Chain A
Amino acid sequence: MLRKLTLIAAALATLAAASPALASGKAKEHADIAYSFEGPFGKFDQAQLQRGYKVYREVCSACHAMKLLSFRNLGDKGGPFYDKKYGNPNDNPMVKQLATEIQVPDIDTETGDEMTRPAVPADRFPHPYKNDYAARAGNGGALPPDLSVIAKAREGGPEYLAAYLTGYEAPPAGLTVPAGQHYNAYFPGDVSAGWAGDKHHAPPGGFVAMPPQLADGKVTFDDGTKSTAHQQAVDVAAFLMWAAEPKLEERNQMGLAVMVYLILFSGLLYMSYRRVWKNESH
C-alpha cells in the first residue's frame, strides 16, 4: 500500500516539476524574500500591506490602474486596513478617509455633465487615464498593465515583482539600450537586438518602457520603517500579492481544518476497512 502511495506521490512530483519547467529562464534569477504569507500557515503582515498601499497610491497609481479593487476591499478581513470593530468595511473610518482623499469621475445627476467627487468605500480605484490610448500616449506608446492580479500573472509572483522594481542595473558594456527604453536584468525579455557581442552570451534581462520608479526616501512610511527603495519594492509587492489573492488567509485557515478532518476520516475508514476485511483473504 505504502509502495503504491509512494508511486502516486512520485507521479505527482513529476507533474508539479513540469509546471516550473515552462519558465524560459532568460532573465536574472530573482532573490528569495521571506514573506509572512508563504507556507500553509501564512498570513499577511498588515503593517507591510499598509506600507505597500502607500507606495502604490503615491507612486504606481500615477500610471497603473487596479480596476478590480474597490476602496472597501482595503478594510476586508485580511486587508491592509481591516479593523475587527468594523465587520462591514464600508463603515471603517480609515477606509472612508483613504477613499475621500481620491477623486473619482461621476455624472452630475442634476445636469448630466461629467464631474469628479471624493470617493466612497464602494467606489472602485479610479483609472489614471481616460482610456488606453491616453495611457499609451502618456507612456511613450507602452500601456501600463493593470495591477489587480499582476502578482499571479507573473512567473515568480511577488518575489519577481520586487526584484523587477529594483532591477534597473547599469547596462553592461556593449549593450545599446533603445531610446525610451530601460534595461532591467530581471525582466524576461530579449536584449540580443541591442547586443554587440556574441549572440549566445547576451546579458540576462530585457528592455522595459517603465523607468526606475522607486528610490530611497521617495515614500515616507507612517510606521517609521526606513524607506529604502528595496523596502518599498518588497512592501508594494506584498500589497500586490494581497490584491491578487485577498482570500489567502481564509484559504490557509480552512485548509488546515480540511486537512485535519480528512486525515482523521481516512484513518477511521482505514480501520473500518481492516475490520471489514479481517476474515477475508485478498
Chain B
Amino acid sequence: MSGHSTYEPKTGIERWLDARLPIVRLGYDSFVDYPTPRNLNYWWTFGGILSLCLASQLITGIILVMHYTPSADHAFASVEHIMRDVNYGWLLRYTHANGASMFFIAVYLHMFRGLYYGSYKPPREVLWILGCVIYLLMMATAFMGYVLPWGQMSFHGAVVITNIIGAIPVIGGPILTWLQGGFAVDNATLNRFFSLHYLLPFMIAGVVILHIWALHVVGQNNPTGIDPKSKHDTLPFTPYATVKDGFAMSVFLILFAVFVFYMPNALGHADNYIEANPLVTPSHIVPEWYFLPFYAILRAVPDKVMGVLAMFGAIGVLFALPWLDTSKVRSMRYRPMAKLYFIILLVVCVILGFCGAKLPDDQVIPGLVTGITPLDNDLNSWVWLSRLATAYYFAYFVVIMPLLGLIETPLPTPETIASPALSHPATTPAGATADAEKKG
C-alpha cells in the first residue's frame, strides 16, 4: 500500500492486469512482501484474529437474516425457528451470538496491547483513532444486535440505553425520538435497529480498510517501541507473520468453539429467553459483559446527565490519548512506573466490569456496614467501588499519563530491534532489556 513495490508480474495476464488495475500488486505489497518487525509477540496476532471475527460475524449474520423476521410480533419466534427448524440454524445463531463476545475479547486485548506498547504514539495517532472509531461502531452494532431477538433483556436494555441518550441536554430528546421511532421502544425501534445492525458492520469493514491502510503507511509498532532501522529488523509478512497469525487464530478458534458447542448461553442472560413484555420489567437489567465497565461508570455518577457524559467520556478520552501521553518512549517495557500504573488500570477495568454486574447498593464485603454514607451510599457498596475505579480510570489518562512522561526516567532502549532479538538474553549487558524480553 505504500513504499517501494517489489512486485514483478510474471505471466502475461498478470502484466496485462497490472497495467490496468494493480490489484495483485496491492495484495502482494500488503500481505506478502510487507516488512514486519521480527520481534512481534503473540499480542500482535489479534489484528488477524479480529479480521477473522468480523468475517465470521458478517457471514453468519447475512445467513441469519435470511430466516429472521424483524417484527415485534414475530422476532422472538423467528429466532427460535432458526434454532429449531433451520438446518444448522443453532450453529449459525450460537456462532453469531458468541462471536460478538469473542470479537470483544479480541478487541480488548488488541487495545490493551496498543496501550502497553504505546502504539498510539506518533506517527500512529490516526491509526489509533481509526481503531477507536471501529470500537465505537462495534459497540453500537453489538447493542443493536442484542435487541433483535426481542427477549426481555433485549427490550428493557434498549429502553435503558435509549433513555440514557435522551438525558443528553438539548440534542438528547430529538435523538431519542429518532432512535426509538416513536415515544417508546416498540416495533419501529426494532426495525430501525435491524436496519442499522445490517449497515454498521459494513461501515466497520470500511474503517478496517482505512485502519489497515494507515497501518501499512506507518508500519507496525513492536514490543521494543523503536522503529526498524534496517532490513535486519524486519521479515516479510509471508510466511513469517502469516504462519504465526494462523497458529494464533486456530488457538483462538478452539476457545470460540468451546463456547459455541459446550456453553453457548454462558455469556448470555436467562431473561433473554423470555419474550419481550413491556409490562414486566426484569428485576435486574444488565447489559452484555463487554459493556459492564461502562455501565458501572454510568451508574457511578449520582447525576444522570453527568453519568452519561462520564460514560461517553470514558471512550472519548481514548481519542485524545496520543496527545495526553507525554513520554518520549513508546513501549512500557522501558517505562517501569508506567507499567505499574498500566497494570492497575487493567485491574480497575476488571473491577468496573464486576461493579457493572452487581446491584449498586449491595455490599462488596458481605455483612460489613461502615455507617459512612457519603452521597447517600454506604462506603461498602458496589457503587462506591465503581466510583473509586472510575476516578482511577480517568486519572490514568488525564493525570498519570501526562505527568509520568515528565517525571519518569525510562530505562535505556536498545539501538535496534535486531540487537536484543539476535543476542541471547543472558549476554545482554543491561539486565533491563533481557528482563523485558522474557515478559514480552
Contact = CB atoms under 8 A, between A and B. Distances in A.
Interface string A1-24: 100110010011011101101101
B122 interface: no
Contact of A154 (B42, B264, B270): B270
Interface in A100-130: none
B292 interface: yes
A19 B246 CA distance: 31
B77 A22 contact: no
B422 interface: yes
Contacts of A255: 257, 260-262
Interface in B40-77: 40-43, 77
A73 interface: yes
B199 interface: no
B421 A282 contact: yes
Contacts of A4: 41-43, 440
A153 B76 CA distance: 13
Nearest to A16: B266
B247 interface: yes
Interface in A230-281: 244, 246-247, 250-252, 254-255, 258-259, 262-263, 265-266, 269-270, 272-273, 276-277, 280-281
* B-side interface mostly: helix
B358 A21 contact: yes
* A-side interface mostly: helix
Given A254-B91, A276-B243, A280-B240, A262 B265 contact: no
B23 interface: no
B394 interface: no
A14 B42 contact: no
A235 to B, nearest CB: 21
Interface residues of B, number: 57
A5 B251 contact: yes
Contacts of A1: 42
A22 B257 contact: no
A246 B81 CA distance: 12
Interface stretch (B200-208, B298-306, B325-333, B349-357): B349-357
A149 interface: yes
Interface string A149-186: 11011110000000000000000000000000000000
A254 B95 CA distance: 13
A73 B421 CA distance: 61
A73 B80 CA distance: 13
A48 interface: no
A68 B283 contact: no
A153 B257 contact: no
Interface in B252-270: 253-255, 257-258, 260-267, 269-270
B7 interface: no
A155 B270 contact: yes
A148 interface: yes
A272 B241 CA distance: 12
Given A21-B354, A152-B273, A262-B254, 4 more contacts: A14-B353, A247-B84, A282-B38, A282-B40
Interface of B: 38-43, 77, 80, 83-84, 90-91, 94, 105, 109, 235, 239-240, 243-244, 246-247, 250-251, 253-255, 257-258, 260-267, 269-271, 273-275, 283-284, 286, 289, 292, 350, 353-354, 357-358, 418, 421-422, 440
8 contacts: A22-B284, A148-B80, A149-B273, A254-B261, A259-B258, A262-B250, A280-B240, A281-B421
